[in-house]
Chain A
Amino acid sequence: MTRPIVIETRRGETVEVGPLRVTPETRVLLLRLPWGGWVWNRPSAVIVTGEGPERRIPIPDPWHGFRTLVGVLLALLAARWIVAFARQAIVIERDSSGG
């Protein structure tokens, strides 16, 4: 059975470049909906073999880190905003009921 949400690491076909064997590795987020879906695929590392032991070289992505940081900060601000408005609504309700 196909899962509606898939988050996994996938390895691609190995490419031989000179003495080295390079295998790409990606992180995939897959969302299956009844009439559509969303796929997010980003490179995470390359696995290098051929000279010495197997090495996993991560692919740095500064933009991804920045985007994650901004997302977390915006989520925290949104949470704070919701709490502030909820408190305000409670106070208004209390005042209007004559408490």
Chain B
Amino acid sequence: MNAKQTEPGRSPAPTTADEAGAPDEAPAMGIERIQAASVRTTGQAARTIRRLFDVARPGAVFSAPVKAGDRTLITASEVSVAMGIGMGMGAGGEAPSETGAGGGGGGGGLSMGRPVAVIAVGPDGLEVQPIVDPTKIALAFFTAAAAMFLAWQRSRAASRR
């Protein structure tokens, strides 16, 4: 059975970059195409990284004021964003007629946001109300205590040997 069956009247879509190119294209053209794509991708990556540093603005931490009855509320949150991008390309071949080129890239990121406090401005002045999550603190306390106890026991055992 033909795996590349297509609908009538439609040409099969190219599946890889090699299939998309002309069949008799010189290998050097492939390298040039990869270099051009690499330049485009590098530009996009640089723009994305620049946008990462927008998080450093105070506007990313404090919300716009919201009216609630006779009070105006502003939320303050902690924001943390990390990102990394990597790229690589290469070309080579064994015989003079056999050349090849390839490139690849990848990236990853992490973002975290947590409400810290609510700033309330009312007729009686300004008030800062911290937002505390007791469940989170209790869970973190017991996890940290268990980790510290285990580490302390192992270091004691190591110093006794």
Interface contact A66-B141, CB-CB below 8 Å: yes
Q: Is B104 in contact with chain A by the CB < 8 A criterion?
A: no
Complex Cα distance, B84 from A32, in Å, reads: 10
Minimum distance in angstroms from B151 CB to a CB of chain A? 5
Query: Assuming A24-B62, A35-B84, A36-B49, is B148 touching A74 (CB within 8 A)?
Result: yes
A41 in contact with B80 (CB, 8 Å): yes
> Inside 8 A of A5's CB, which chain B residues have their CB?
none
CB pair B56 A28 closer than 8 Å: yes
Bound CA–CA A96/B151 (angstroms) = 27
Tell me the A residues contacting B by CB distance below 8 Å. Answer: 6, 10-13, 15, 17-18, 20, 22, 24-26, 28, 30, 32-33, 35-43, 46, 48, 51, 57-64, 66-67, 70, 73-74, 77-78, 80-81, 84-85, 87-88
Q: Which chain B residues have a beta carbon within 8 Å of chain A's beta carbons?
A: 45, 49, 52-53, 55-62, 65, 72, 74, 76-87, 107, 114, 116-117, 119, 121, 125-126, 128, 130, 132-133, 136-137, 140-141, 144, 147-148, 151-152, 154-156, 158-159, 161
